[in-house]
Structure 1
Amino acid sequence: MWELLIGLALLTIVFLALTVWLLSRLDCDLQLVIYSKFGHSLHDLRGKVCWITGASSGIGEALAYVLATNGVKLVLSGTNRQRLDEVKSRCQTFGQLDPDDILVLDFDITNFDVHNHQLQEVLVHHKKLDILVLNAGRTQRSDFADIDMDVDKAMFDCNVFGHVSIARVVLRYFIANNITGAQFVVTSSAAAKLGAPNSASYTASKYALHGYFDCLRNEVHSRGIGVTIACPGPVQSRIQENMYTNRLGITVNRMADNSSSSDRMETSRCAYLMAIAAVNRLAEVWICDQPLLSLYYLNQYMPALAVRILPRLMSKKRVDRYREGTTGHHSEK
């Protein structure tokens, strides 16, 4: 009897140890892990037309390469025409796409009046649209008490209302034309799950995206239109360039460590996981390395405990190290 109990105890310990080890190696939530292994392939997106906002760098750029490689026709938009043209050229190389398979639209997402015209440009060129990726945005750093309301408004125009405006224009097209399998993919942030300190305007804008697009998902589910919200942690991108601060007109260029020694996730990996989430039409996915991923779970499933722990773990100094990819974990892996 005692031998049996001891054996069961040892098996339990081994199982728990293996579980902890496995979780420590994850860079996304368990749902996304399963779908990346057993779900739909990215090849299922072949022939679709995808419009990516904020496609000139970072996640948007990397996502364009992933989709191009899998035969997706693209619309690349942003404010920097030169960078967009460079991304288009690389997409042609990586994906062996023809020049006509990729449309470049350079415009400011906060110019709401042109959104309908931009959609018409897409439809004239590609004849259809299947997926809209809402990825454009800027970040911000400042203490809560010091932020002018003008900064909040500017952040929301860029990170929220620009996306909402384009989404409404595209949604009307999806509904009017009964587009089968139409989908919205929204780039949110770890900030929207954890309340990142010292970036209240940015954090609030990402929370707002969840409000708008969770509502949209519930409204259009019966029409077969999908909404995927991705919540990545720090990735190797240019988002820290030209950051908003506490006053309009005062920006900061903070160059994050995007080298191979950085603790930030490789942008290509983040983009691949987002594409997997999109092809499998997952509602919400979390994409980041440990220990940040564990904090997502803690805050989601044990909020009473999280509210006591997170303020102690998320000091300004510690959070800045994660944002800049200088936590020092990379060298330990």
Structure 2
Amino acid sequence: MFFTAIGIGVFVYGVVFSVLACLADCDVELWLYEKLGKSPRRLKGKVVFITGASSGIGEHTAYSLAKFGVKLALAARRPHELQRVKNKCLELSKGQLEDKDVLTIPMDVTDCSSHKRHFSMAVNHFGKVDILLNNAGRSQRAEWDATELAVDHQLFELNVFAVVNLTRVAMEHFNAMGQGHVAVVSSLAGIIGAPHSGTYTGSKHAIHGYFNSLRIENIRKKLNVTLLCPGPTFTNFLGEAFTGKIGQKLNSSTDPKDKRMTAERCGYLNAVALVNKTRESWMGVFPIIPFTYIGIYFPIIFNCALQILGPEYLFKLRDSKKPDQNSHKD
């Protein structure tokens, strides 16, 4: 009777978990936190330093945080765009934030020699930084064997080494405070390999290696490490994406009819993950989340499915279209 009860419990758990994985636009843990966990309003008064804050996921995460009265240090290369985002943050805060509560920091994250100076600007202005959100980065569309090595170097400089160096700068501050929170916008491509994006996928897997290691080293300290893993999202990422040739941009765009998560929704889920201090959070519209669960927990089934469906299916899930082979090679 006892083992029968356990068996029934496991079966029910599996059914409920599977249903939630199919219905939710994020992993089940994050969905539960959104419904039952801490609200982002608990972050009110905290200071969050966001890189890549002038567009895309970084911009919309800033908006979501501003609505709850979170103080912001917005860093990116384009001063005018940063000012636009700042103005919007102040508007969305509905009086919770004053002009001094949103600091803009024009910054090229690939200039690692400037990281300490720029991070110190935020610390000196606010007196502290509570959360570092590493968001700046670029995607890629290219054939694996037609990618120039210089592209690998350049993409890793932005997506990996700049993130690691800025985090090490922030760690000095967090260690001095005795607590801190580091978050990185990774990708579901950092969990499951994405076709026609070998360098990008490699950079995101490297991020997971670096920051999982950081988390384990500090497991007994008051340091939280969060990996945020969005799937396909409506941003301008395809326009700036790397190809296989150095100095070349993809110069493509998303289609309004694509099956993607909105940047607004992604930004809000990021805020939920930050306040609940998750270790790793996935976001994506159906069938991205159940597909990721299968890839992680049922790799044999996943590989058999890919053998039948082909890599084109995975690419179509990601970009809502089949790959144009020529555009990735030239």
Q: Same fold (TM over 0.5)?
A: yes
Equivalence map 1:150-165=2 (5 Å): 150-165=150-165
Which whole-Å CA distance do the structure 2 matches of 1:78 and 1:238 have between them?
15
8 Å Cα contact 2:64-2:267 kept in structure 1: yes
Which whole-Å CA distance do the structure 1 matches of 2:127 and 2:14 have between them?
53
Per the alignment, in what secondary structure is the counterpart of residue 105 of structure 2? strand
Segments of 5+ residues of structure 1 without an aligned counterpart are 1-12, 328-333
Structure 2 counterpart of 1:45, one-letter code: L
The match for 1:284 is 280
The match for 1:131 is 131
CA 248–326 in structure 1, closer or farther in 2 if over 3 Å, else same: closer
Equivalence map 1:61-72=2 (5 Å): 61-72=59-70
Normalised TM-score (structure 2): 0.89
Structure 2 counterpart of 1:107, one-letter code: M
Which whole-Å CA distance do the structure 2 matches of 1:84 and 1:312 have between them?
46
Superposed CA deviations along residues 155-180 of structure 1, whole A, max 9, x for unmatched, are 1000011000000000011102223x
The match for 1:57 is 55
Q: Does 1:167 align with 2:138?
A: no
Which whole-Å CA distance do the structure 2 matches of 1:56 and 1:117 have between them?
20
Q: Does 1:295 align with 2:291?
A: yes
8 Å Cα contact 2:288-2:317 kept in structure 1: no
Q: Does 1:106 align with 2:103?
A: no
Which whole-Å CA distance do the structure 2 matches of 1:157 and 1:293 have between them?
29
- Please report how far the alpha carbon of residue 295 of structure 1 lies from its aligned counterpart in structure 2 after TM superposition: 1.5
Q: Does 1:242 align with 2:240?
A: yes
- Please report how far the alpha carbon of residue 15 of structure 1 lies from its aligned counterpart in structure 2 after TM superposition: 10
The match for 1:214 is 212
The match for 1:330 is none
Structure 2 counterpart of 1:174, one-letter code: F
CA 311–253 in structure 1, closer or farther in 2 if over 3 Å, else same: farther
CA 176–320 in structure 1, closer or farther in 2 if over 3 Å, else same: same
The match for 1:307 is 303
Which whole-Å CA distance do the structure 2 matches of 1:313 and 1:75 have between them?
45
The match for 2:3 is none
8 Å Cα contact 2:39-2:275 kept in structure 1: yes
Equivalence map 1:84-99=2 (5 Å): 84-95=82-93, 96=95, 97-99=97-99
8 Å Cα contact 2:17-2:28 kept in structure 1: no
Instruction: Please point out which of 227, 239, 242 is paired with 2:225.
Output: 227
- Please report how far the alpha carbon of residue 34 of structure 1 lies from its aligned counterpart in structure 2 after TM superposition: 1.0
Q: Does 1:146 align with 2:139?
A: no
Which whole-Å CA distance do the structure 2 matches of 1:298 and 1:20 have between them?
10
8 Å Cα contact 2:258-2:320 kept in structure 1: yes
8 Å Cα contact 1:41-1:276 kept in structure 2: yes
8 Å Cα contact 1:52-1:132 kept in structure 2: yes
Structure 1 counterpart of 2:127, one-letter code: K
Per the alignment, in what secondary structure is the counterpart of residue 122 of structure 2? helix
CA 22–115 in structure 1, closer or farther in 2 if over 3 Å, else same: closer
- Please report how far the alpha carbon of residue 16 of structure 1 lies from its aligned counterpart in structure 2 after TM superposition: 8.8
Which whole-Å CA distance do the structure 2 matches of 1:313 and 1:54 have between them?
35
Q: Does 1:77 align with 2:75?
A: yes
Structure 1 counterpart of 2:191, one-letter code: K
The match for 1:262 is 258
- Please report how far the alpha carbon of residue 122 of structure 1 lies from its aligned counterpart in structure 2 after TM superposition: 0.7
Which whole-Å CA distance do the structure 2 matches of 1:28 and 1:326 have between them?
22
Which whole-Å CA distance do the structure 2 matches of 1:215 and 1:115 have between them?
22
Segments of 5+ residues of structure 2 without an aligned counterpart are 1-10, 323-330
Superposed CA deviations along residues 178-211 of structure 1, whole A, max 9, x for unmatched, are 23xx201111111112200011000000000000
8 Å Cα contact 1:197-1:314 kept in structure 2: no
CA RMSD of aligned residues (A): 2.2
Per the alignment, in what secondary structure is the counterpart of residue 77 of structure 1? strand
Farther off after superposition, 129-138 or 170-179 = 170-179
- Please report how far the alpha carbon of residue 314 of structure 1 lies from its aligned counterpart in structure 2 after TM superposition: 5.2
Which whole-Å CA distance do the structure 2 matches of 1:48 and 1:313 have between them?
46
Equivalence map 1:42-53=2 (5 Å): 42-53=40-51
8 Å Cα contact 1:77-1:106 kept in structure 2: yes
Per the alignment, in what secondary structure is the counterpart of residue 256 of structure 1? coil
